Amino acid sequence: MFILQIAIPKPLSNYFDYLPPVGVDIEQLKPGMRLKVPFGNINYVGMLVNITNNSNCPNNKLKSVIKIIDSTPILSVDDLELMKWAANYYHYYIGEVITTALPSALNQGLPAKIKPLLGWKLAYDVQLDNLPKNAVKQRAILHLLQQYPQGLTQTLINSSLPKATSSLKTLQEKGWITKVLIDIIPNKTLAKSSHLQLNQAQNKAVNQVCSNLHQFYPVLLDGVTGSGKTEVYLQIIQKVLDQGKQALILVPEINLTPQTVNRFEQRFAIPIATWHFKLSKSERLHTWLSARDGLTSIIIGTRSAIWIPLANPGIFIVDEEHDLSYKQQFKFRYSARDIAVVRSKLANVPILLGSATPSLDSLHNANCKRYLYFNLPERAGTAIHPTYHIVDMRLQPPREILSRPLMKAIKQRLTAKQQILLFINRRGYASTLTCYKCGWVAFCQHCDARLTYHDSYKILQCHHCGITQQLYIKCPECKYTKLYLLGQGTERIEEYLRIQFSYANILRIDSDNTSRKNSIEKIFEKIRSGEVDILIGTQMLAKGHHFPNVTLVGVINVDSGLYGSDFRSTERMAQLLIQVSGRAGRANDPGEVIIQTYHPEHPLLAKLIQQGYPAFAQAALKERYIAAFPPYTYLALLRAESIDKPPLEFLEHAKLSAHKCDDVQLWGPVISPMEKRADWYRAQLLLQALQRKHLHDFISRWLPTLPASNNKKVRWSLDIDPQDLF
């Protein structure tokens, strides 16, 4: 008697046993195939994980599989092993881990077959001069299709040129474009660039990795901003491609994907696949299957791309490995960076973790010789490191938004026709609306947070639950009509600069004005073409962008990261500061960074500025060791939420249900730093251990004693290796 062990996409930790379909040869069934099975009163698409000869359930109680969906496995043995490892390590439901790893089309039971995508291509070599001057959208479409002679999918056209459907029909009626089925992922027609000359440090990294392409070879590539890490990636990938293998590259943000793809397209004359949430369901399936079948050799994507199967993996690369966006913060809380390391080990191939500001976790692994360490200490070409200046805001006039030294530097750069980048990690106009008479402050009714005023929409908004409301005309407590806006965000800085420098072209970049499709790419093109004099933005400007004309970076407020409630606050502050500072002086002109702070004497800030990120990191690691924080200990966080009150009673019960274990400490429970969010009251219980094995053994015994996580009164989740304690 053969028993099929199947993972069901439900919040249940175990597999479920089924009988094979009647009349089906067991040889037809292999792990990694999808099967339609009855579960309760509903039929689900499950994944066959194992075939065995016995079951804990009596055979007469077992149900039979309804339908075999796949004729061959859609997942390899290594893919399944990776998902089993992830479910075990993160103590999460195997069925939902598999659901996370698959495109939605496959979770819905659609065929795992590559289907041509509907697109458009030029009917002939169109001369754009023949178009009327007012046919702006048609001209843009034709120019776009000239770059993709094999055609471009409808979705990709719409992502580049919103609302293009009517113009496409007009061009088709004119006979200038025609519909086409696209079998491969579209690539631009570009003159392929040659390899750049490597310096000694780059050359050492490339040679060492290329000499170890046939084994697990974990590398931390620590390169200052502008040091040429991407060129190192490109030359290693070329060696991987020469061996007929594939490369998977992770980037932290979707906004980085277009420029990364463009750089790769300029180098490699092969199809390059991208993976991010803006792709359509059919495009995601197409990319997933193309990579699995070996039709695509280079895949570039954000966090969830780590699950894309590869026919012949050759290398994994995680760019900006320190970035918090690699950790999923809801439901299945996995780290794509850590999954990538495990996956490369299973595949027995190298992995590169690259960053100008490596995480303390990765530096610790390098210190312990778990990772090979390569350092790129100098900028590529003639670019030099920027100089830093700290401005003590206590010595500046009260309520001064921008200090006098920063204003003077801005004027000098404008005169020299150079670009300025001003960084403030807070969008909106003002962070607080208050009444000076009675002290009332505008708080969100659904969260334990103040409402932020957005002048561009004339609204108050909560940046945690997203609710918006109209601006108060008078104080709801004392009816006083003079309310005050305190603090500053990107909008207020923009307003102030437009008054001070009316002749300058000023551009604000934050999530409020970059939400439209393709808007960020157009903004960056404006910056690179020199149309912008002053950039004002949030952390989306700090990540990997190359602005050769920026010579001055002003950091408006660095203090929020110096005294945060999370022990990782200073690490995040240092990484963000170095990353945004790295936008200055990347070409021939020297760069300058001016940092405004009310705490210039902070020891870690002083070490960061005077001695650089490596010295800061080693000092921070010493602090972590003394305090017994990661990476010297291991954490898990049990988060709980209740609609009525903080679920401290639930967490106290969870703590009491834990069997005494000297190797694991339980801290709390305590109310979360933000007690209420989106009408849910929150609390948490922290688990800490000196050894990872002790922590996971304890959790494995402890979790079955907790009630179901979908309890109507209390909902909870477990976060392994939490990256924030918020």
What would the DSSP string read from start to end of 36-87?
A: EEEETTEEEEEEEEEEES--SS-GGGPPBP-EE--SS-SS-HHHHHHHHHHH
Of 181-185, 464-468, 511-515, the range with the lowest mean pLDDT is 511-515
pLDDT tens digit sequence for 379-425: 776 667 789 999 999 998 877 889 999 999 999 999 999 999 999 98
pLDDT tens digit sequence for 670-702: 999 899 999 999 999 999 999 999 999 999 999
pLDDT, residue 66, reads: 94
> Is the pLDDT confidence value at 189 over 60?
no
* pLDDT mean over 288-298: 93
Strands (E) in 397-546, as ranges, are 419-423, 432-435, 452-454, 459-461, 468-470, 483-486, 506-509, 534-537
**Which of 686, 627, 90 minimizes the C-alpha distance to 360?**
627
pLDDT, residue 186, reads: 61
> Is the pLDDT confidence value at 253 over 90?
no
pLDDT tens digit sequence for 623-632: 999 999 999 9
Q: Strands 550-555, 592-597: parallel, antiparallel or unpaired by DSSP? A: parallel
Cα 486 to the chain's mean position, in Å?
A: 31
Average pLDDT, the chain: 89
Which pLDDT band holds residue 652 (cuts at 50, 70, 90)?
very high
* pLDDT mean over 570-584: 88
pLDDT tens digit sequence for 512-568: 666 554 556 677 777 777 788 999 988 877 776 777 788 999 999 888 778 777 889
The CATH superfamily label for domain 387-429+488-626 reads P-loop containing nucleotide triphosphate hydrolases (3.40.50.300)
pLDDT, residue 480, reads: 92
Of 78-92, 174-188, 667-681, 696-710, the range with the lowest mean pLDDT is 174-188
Dihedral sign computed on CA atoms, order 392, 394, 399, 400: negative
> Is the pLDDT confidence value at 716 over 60?
yes
DSSP 184-213: S------PPPPPPPP-HHHHHHHHHHHTTT
With a pLDDT cut of 70, the percent of the chain lying above it is 94
The number of C-alpha atoms within 13 Å of 52 and in the hemisphere containing its C-beta is: 13
Q: Which residues contact 211 (CB under 8 A, 6 or more apart)?
A: none
Q: Where in the chain is the domain with CATH 3.40.1440.60?
A: 3-107
Q: Where in the chain is the domain with CATH 3.40.50.300?
A: 200-376, 387-429+488-626
348 vs 538 pLDDT, higher one: 348
* pLDDT mean over 171-188: 78
Q: Where in the chain is the domain with CATH 1.10.10?
A: 117-182
For residue 201, report the phi and psi dihedrals to the nearest 5 degrees.
-65, -40
pLDDT, residue 13, reads: 77
Phi-psi map region of 175: left, alpha, beta (phi>0 left; psi -120 to 50 alpha): left
With a pLDDT cut of 90, the percent of the chain lying above it is 60
Question: Residue 631: is the preceding peptide bond cis (ω within 30°)?
Answer: yes
Q: Which residue has the tokens 């792709």?
A: 279
DSSP 322-366: T-GGGB--SSS--BHHHHHHHHHHHHT-EEEEEESS--HHHHHHH
What is the Cα gyration radius of the chain?
28
Helix (H, G, I), strand (E, B) or coil at 394: helix
User: How is domain 3-107 classified at the CATH fold level?
Assistant: GIY-YIG endonuclease (3.40.1440)
> Can you tell me the distance from the alpha carbon of 44 to that of 36, in angstroms, rounded to the nearest whole number?
6
Structure tokens at 333: 């809380």
Whether the full predicted model's pTM is greater than 0.85, yes or no, is yes
Q: Indicate the CATH number of 634-720 among 2.60.40, 3.30.1120, 3.40.50, 3.30.70.
A: 3.30.70
516 vs 581 pLDDT, higher one: 581
Which pLDDT band holds residue 583 (cuts at 50, 70, 90)?
confident
> Is the pLDDT confidence value at 53 over 70?
yes
Q: Tell me the one-letter amino acid at 617.
A: A
**Residue 208 in contact with residue 373, Cβ under 8 Å?**
no
**Residue 51 in contact with residue 2, Cβ under 8 Å?**
yes
Question: Residue 218: is the preceding peptide bond cis (ω within 30°)?
Answer: no
pLDDT, residue 187, reads: 61
According to DSSP, residue 450 is labeled: B
pLDDT tens digit sequence for 306-328: 999 999 999 999 999 999 999 99
254 vs 192 pLDDT, higher one: 254
pLDDT, residue 78, reads: 94
**Residue 401 in contact with residue 492, Cβ under 8 Å?**
yes
* pLDDT mean over 452-456: 91
Helix (H, G, I), strand (E, B) or coil at 184: coil
> Is the pLDDT confidence value at 354 over 70?
yes
> Is the pLDDT confidence value at 598 over 80?
yes
- Spell out the alpha helix ranges (H) of 392-530: 404-415, 490-500, 519-528
Count of other CB atoms within 10 angstroms of residue 706: 17
**Which of 720, 726, 725, 724 minimizes the C-alpha distance to 338?**
720
Which pLDDT band holds residue 190 (cuts at 50, 70, 90)?
low
288 vs 726 pLDDT, higher one: 288
H/E run at residue 173: helix 165-173
According to DSSP, residue 565 is labeled: S
User: How is domain 200-376 classified at the CATH fold level?
Assistant: Rossmann fold (3.40.50)
Of 49-53, 612-616, 659-663, the range with the lowest mean pLDDT is 659-663
> Can you tell me the distance from the alpha carbon of 245 to that of 297, in angstroms, rounded to the nearest whole number?
7
Question: Residue 669: is the preceding peptide bond cis (ω within 30°)?
Answer: yes
Residue range 117-182 in CATH 1.10.10: yes
> Is the pLDDT confidence value at 256 over 80?
no
